Amino acid sequence: MLYYLTEETKYATCGADILFTYINALKQMKVHKDGAMNSGWMFPTDHLYEARVIGAQLPIIYDFIYPYLASGGQVYDLASAKLTNFDFTTAQGVIGTYVWLALNKGLLDSNWPVLESSSLVHNILALDDKQQIKKFIPYYTHINTKNQASLKKVAEHFVNQGDIWPESFQYSRHVAGFTVYLMTLLDRYDPSLKLGATYPNIPGAFTSYYNLEYPNDESPFIGDGHRTYKIDYADLENSLLLAKLNNNKQQEQYFTSYLSSSIKNGLYDRGHLHSRSYGASPYFTPLQLLWSVNKIQSETDIDVTPERPRSLRLEFAGMNIQRNISKINPVKNSLMAFVAGGSYIHGHASGMDMELYGQGHVLGVDGGKGTYRTDIHENYYRLFAAHNTVISNGASASKNGWINLGINRVQSELMEPAAGDVGVSPNHSFSTSSFYDEYNLVAPAQHERTLALIKLDDTKGYYLDIFRAKSDFQNQYHDYVYHNIGDQLTITSNNQMVDLVADHDRYQASAKLAWITTGQRGYRHPGWHFFDDVKTKSHATEQFEATFTASKLGDKSISMRALIPAGLNIDISHVNAPKAYGGTAPYNSKPLPTFLLRHQGEAWDNPYVVAYESITEGENYAVQNVERILANGIFKGVKVGVKLNGKLLTQYILVQENSEDRYQSQKLGINFKGRFAVITLDDQQHPTEMYLGAGSYLHYNQHKLTAKPGSNSAYIAY
């Protein structure tokens, strides 16, 4: 590239010597054409790696120094220690072989074809025969092989505006970035292809990741993901160029304005080359010098950190995201949570997972990922026990799908506000999700989770988690699992420490299951044999308070308290789980405090109920107590006692299984038909708010709230 920029021969001789040495080495090695699915050449068992670190690089060197070689420039031969003529025939053979490997090796239904496509396209364009180039380009643009997906097939995952590639987020981002690069490369090579015009939703994916993030700009942890991601401005520069090449004025204006605003705000500096990646990735860095527009100017400044939507649905991950953003110190005081679970590449057998945000941090965390192919990664981090979920019959498991981690996708039953909507209430939102634990090793189980965000004012709020579980297994039991970062977990009842008894054997049965590493066909479900220091109190029906305290997140300690109301016979256990890679440092390197609730029998008519509230040291909890509301033994919701700014409030949060269900209480003055509602009363028992999240009507004494026409929600503040 320096030769191209300066036309100084010394750079050409350096590049030519490197190229010639590699080609001579490769021609002496066996091409493993008859080997396994991922067999290669210099890396006999890993074409996926070789395609990125060698296959994608050699044709770039060849293209840039071709004028020197074609004019008779010689190369240094290591064997003879002399200058010699370049062997074009052998070089073309190497290039053709890498085209063959990309088309005939690899895994079709994954991100592999995209990761291998840079090698495929680079080597096609380095062929000396123009007819051969014309022949092979369609194998990237629209012709699939049994081992290599075309751009057309990749684009099937980007049908709607805002779609992202269906894998955990870092793989998803790479797919979009590599694909936009290759679309830009080919549209520059042959403008008649118009790939950017055909598939505009692929660069459009870069606008979606921001909306998935927490108020502190961290990402939800799903599958083999990470907590934080840097914006790759090189991808945005390519997206801008692609828009220009295809006369996409809308995207051109957006990416120009975004980059311009990022520069003005000091977030992006075009005066320095992006960092070189030395991992398994093609070498894209010089494109800043070769492709990028000279100057980015926009008359329109845009907010590059706009307010994120209150709710979102990410279908492939079975994810419902809910937010309630505070106007006062939003990073600290906002609420955000998600419920998710699904089967996808690099996904986990998580069941119906949940994360909770508070005080500027993700506190209720997913376990994350470990080191691939290790025991703890495959038999803990990828399985149910590493997630905030419910395990049924001690045997929730996966089957089929990606590396036998297939589970049913979590379904969205109800959500208010609906994905992308504003919502009827500034203070309330909820989602109801369902999951069928079909591959349970004992008997299938049905799960349903209602998660509500209840905002009390601009600094206070809490989450209410209601989890139903049932199975046809005669001796069914269900374990509610919750992990939270912290230095310690204390479990109390009525302000007294609960007497927990050592219980080493409780979760150890899964350690005896077979771990079949060949083809990753068998795991030690549900993975909870990695729990340590297990202590339990059995057969309890009283209210419990489980308080997690983290003293190393800043100058003041941060606590998350879980209030577990009385009225369900449970065993409560305190364990230390393996460290959570998704936890805020230093808690990503410490054992993760965790509690479990076990109920023998179904937990459907009377489900698990937990109210979660976080505070910073020096603050007081607003939620004082939580009581179950039952009618003929059927759960109808909770009564929550709140103390806010010295004033006592009462909230009735009503939750029913079906939209036609009714709850009437003359004593309480409540008449409700529907699935979810909230009544907030002051200390005189006068309503201050009524929220109909999903239902037909909500009455409190003489106060009546009816769903709007064409809707099943409504809200009123008094």
The per-residue pLDDT for 519 is 76
Per-residue pLDDT tens digits for 486-543: 999 999 999 999 999 999 999 999 999 999 988 778 999 999 999 999 999 999 999 9
- Contact present, 98 and 55 (Cβ < 8 Å): yes
Mind listing the domains of the chain with CATH numbers? 1-157 (no CATH), 158-306 (no CATH), 311-621 (2.70.98.70), 622-718 (no CATH)
The per-residue pLDDT for 521 is 83
Give the mean pLDDT of the chain. 96
Percent of the chain with pLDDT strictly greater than 90: 94
The per-residue pLDDT for 173 is 94
Identify the bridge partners of residue 626 per DSSP, sorted by sequence position: 640
The per-residue pLDDT for 279 is 81
Q: How many CB atoms lie within 10 A of CB 132?
A: 15
DSSP assignment of 126-174 equals: T-S-HHHHHHHTHHHHT---SS---HHHHGGG--STT---SB-HHHHHH
Question: Among candidates 382, 370, 369, 375, which has minimal Cα distance to 341?
Answer: 382
Confidence band for 285, pLDDT divided at 50, 70 and 90? confident
Describe the strand order of the beta sheet including 570-577 as a list of residue ranges. 390-392, 477-483, 592-600, 570-577, 532-540, 501-502
Looking at the predicted structure, is the pLDDT value of residue 566 above 90? Answer: yes
In a 10 Å sphere around its CB, with 0-12 CB exposed, 13-18 middle and 19+ buried, how is residue 144 labelled?
middle
- Contact present, 68 and 3 (Cβ < 8 Å): yes
The per-residue pLDDT for 624 is 97
The per-residue pLDDT for 281 is 86
Give residue for tokens 């037909």.
696
The per-residue pLDDT for 709 is 85
| Of the listed ranges 32-36, 180-184, 543-547, 619-623, the one predicted with least confidence | 32-36
Looking at the predicted structure, is the pLDDT value of residue 277 above 80? Answer: no
For the chain, the straight-line distance linking the first and the last C-alpha, in angstroms and rounded, comes to 69
The residue among 298 and 50 whose pLDDT is bigger is 50
Average pLDDT of the residues in 466-485? 97
Per-residue pLDDT tens digits for 85-110: 999 999 999 999 999 999 999 988 89
The per-residue pLDDT for 708 is 82
CA distance 132 to 713: 62
Average pLDDT of the residues in 549-558? 97
Per-residue pLDDT tens digits for 645-693: 999 999 999 999 999 999 999 999 999 999 999 999 999 999 999 999 9
DSSP assignment of 236-272 equals: HHHHHHHHHHTT-HHHHHHHHHHHHHHHHTTS--TTS
Instruction: State the pairing for strand pair 532-540/570-577.
Output: antiparallel
CA distance 562 to 572: 13
Looking at the predicted structure, is the pLDDT value of residue 357 above 80? Answer: yes
Percent of the chain with pLDDT strictly greater than 70: 100
Average pLDDT of the residues in 297-314? 93
